[in-house]
């Protein structure tokens, strides 16, 4: 979830349950304003639309990694 959480600033990224328990005491250090700013920066409507448009352009051009046309060698 690094696209949502910046470790130590907007939350904590851990892999094990015991790490989660350790991070609970650090939660008060997370500032809500930082969380909101990160969401606004990465998940605004404009940002999301730009990202989807880029993906659609790649898919149309056959640059999408799993594009069927690319697998079949279709140039069109």
pLDDT digits (tens, 9 = 90+) for 5-39: 889 889 999 999 999 999 999 999 999 999 898 88
Q: Is residue 6 part of a domain?
A: no
Query: CB–CB of 43/32 below 8 Å?
Result: no
Question: pTM for the complete prediction?
Answer: 0.53
State the pLDDT confidence band at 76, using cuts at 50, 70 and 90: very low
Identify the domain containing residue 50 by its residue range: 17-68
Query: How confident is the model at residue 66, as a pLDDT?
Result: 64
Q: Which residues contact 6 (CB under 8 A, 6 or more apart)?
A: 34, 38
Q: Is residue 12 part of a domain?
A: no
Q: Which alpha helices (H) appear in the chain, and where do they start and end?
A: 17-24, 32-43, 45-61, 68-72
Query: CB–CB of 43/35 below 8 Å?
Result: no
Q: Is residue 74 part of a domain?
A: no
């Amino acid at each position: 979830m690094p696209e949502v959480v910046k470790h130590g600033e907007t939350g904590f990224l851990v892999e094990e349950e015991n790490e989660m328990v350790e991070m609970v005491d650090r939660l008060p250090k997370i500032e809500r304003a930082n969380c909101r700013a990160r969401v606004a920066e990465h998940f605004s409507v404009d940002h999301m639309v730009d990202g989807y448009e880029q993906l659609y352009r790649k898919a149309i051009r056959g640059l999408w990694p799993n594009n069927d046309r690319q697998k079949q060698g279709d140039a069109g």
